[in-house]
């Protein structure tokens, strides 16, 4: 099957620090990866779309200078939350689309971020 | 984007079949119907997808109405591990981000 991993699975940080979250496709190449955010009792909200080798496309209302996305290879995308604040505390989830066809995406297990 | 409508919640007894409905009356001819589920504190898990014909896999079956304006996800024998939020999502292909609605919260009781 197609496996997507995220690291770390959870992180606690102080307000003002930066946190990097990695998303890896373990057994397939991903041309496109997506980053979602989910607050408690709510559904997933798309933050940005990242394509390998190009700049990410951010959804309206998502600050690109605050949520830095890098998709440096066909198996790795990173999301860096810069100068994190308590309101950034959330569940961050990535998904990946296979390079070769198929009409579905595969999701990572998520990263829970708590900013104190 | 074409929208989907699902019941907020459903309840089932363990080992009984579950039929989760989804309405998508504004679906276009190129929209695939995807089903994902999300267990608490986990990322969404792919369940099944289809375009026009009914589909079966080891997890579930997907029954698509002839006019494609509705579909039903069928879990043949619900287990306690099937308790999750089930999302019915339309997408043209996997290159597009998925628009998650509120989904259906399935409760499975022993």
Q: How does pLDDT run across A14-41, given as a tens digit for each residue? A: 999 999 999 999 988 888 899 999 999 8
- Please determine, for residue B85, whether its predicted confidence score (pLDDT) is greater than 70: yes
Tokens for A51? 């394509």
- Please determine, for residue B102, whether its predicted confidence score (pLDDT) is greater than 70: yes
B77 to A46, A89, B13, B44, B46: CA distances (angstroms): 33, 37, 9, 21, 18
pLDDT at position A87 is 96
What is the rounded distance in angstroms from the CA atom of residue B37 to the CA atom of residue B101?
12
Going by pLDDT thresholds of 50, 70 and 90, the confidence category of residue B99 is: confident
> Do A49 and B41 make contact, defined as CB atoms within 8 angstroms?
no
Q: Which residues of B4-31 are buried (b: 16+ CB within 10 A; e: fewer)?
A: bebeeebebeeeeebebebbbeebeeeb
Among A97, A103, A110, whose Cβ lies nearest the Cβ of B43? A110
pLDDT at position B78 is 96
Is the minimum CB–CB distance between B44 and chain A shorter than 8 Å? Answer: yes
For A88, residues 6+ apart whose C-beta sits below 8 A from its C-beta are A81, A113, A115
Over residues A85-109, the pLDDT tens digits come to 999 999 999 999 876 656 678 899 9
Is the minimum CB–CB distance between B29 and chain A shorter than 8 Å? Answer: no
pLDDT at position B93 is 66
Question: Token pair 């604040």 is at which residue?
Answer: A85
> Do B44 and A93 make contact, defined as CB atoms within 8 angstroms?
yes
Chain B: closest CA distance from residue A109 (Å): 4
Among B43, B87, B91, whose Cβ lies nearest the Cβ of A93? B43
Contact indicator for A67, A74 with CB cutoff of 8 Å: no
Beta pairing partners, B64: B71
What is the rounded distance in angstroms from the CA atom of residue A33 to the CA atom of residue B86?
22
Sheet hosting strand B55-56, strand order edge to edge:
B18-23, B70-75, B61-64, B55-56
Among B32, B45, B101, whose Cβ lies nearest the Cβ of A107? B45
> Do A105 and B94 make contact, defined as CB atoms within 8 angstroms?
yes
Residue A3 — left, alpha, or beta (φ > 0 → left; ψ -120 to 50 → alpha)?
beta
Query: If you measure CA to CA, which chain B residue comes closest to A4?
Result: B43
Residue A32: its H or E element: strand A30-38
Tokens for A14? 């102080």
Torsion angle (degrees, nearest 10) of CA A50, A55, A56, A62: 160
Tokens for B34? 């995807």
């Amino acid at each position: 099957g197609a496996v997507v991993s995220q690291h770390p699975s959870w992180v606690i940080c102080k307000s003002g620090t930066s946190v990097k979250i990695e998303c890896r496709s373990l057994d397939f190449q991903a041309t496109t990866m997506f980053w979602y955010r989910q607050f408690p009792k709510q559904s997933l909200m798309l933050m940005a779309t990242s394509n390998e080798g190009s700049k990410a496309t951010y959804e309206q209302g998502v600050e690109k200078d605050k949520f830095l996305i890098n998709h440096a290879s066909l198996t790795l995308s990173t999301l860096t939350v810069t100068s994190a604040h308590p309101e950034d505390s959330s569940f961050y989830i990535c998904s990946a689309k296979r390079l070769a066809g198929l009409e579905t995406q595969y999701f990572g297990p998520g990263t829970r971020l708590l900013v104190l | 984007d074409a929208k989907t409508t699902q019941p907020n919640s459903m309840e089932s007894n363990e080992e009984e079949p579950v039929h989760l409905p989804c309405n998508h009356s504004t679906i276009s001819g190129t929209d695939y119907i995807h089903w994902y589920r999300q267990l608490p504190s986990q990322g969404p898990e792919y369940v099944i997808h289809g375009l026009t014909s009914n589909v079966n896999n080891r997890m579930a079956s997907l029954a698509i109405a002839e006019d494609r304006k509705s579909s039903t996800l069928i879990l043949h024998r619900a287990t306690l591990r099937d308790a999750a939020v089930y999302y019915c999502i339309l997408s043209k292909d996997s290159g597009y981000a998925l628009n998650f609605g509120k989904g259906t919260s399935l409760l499975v009781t022993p």
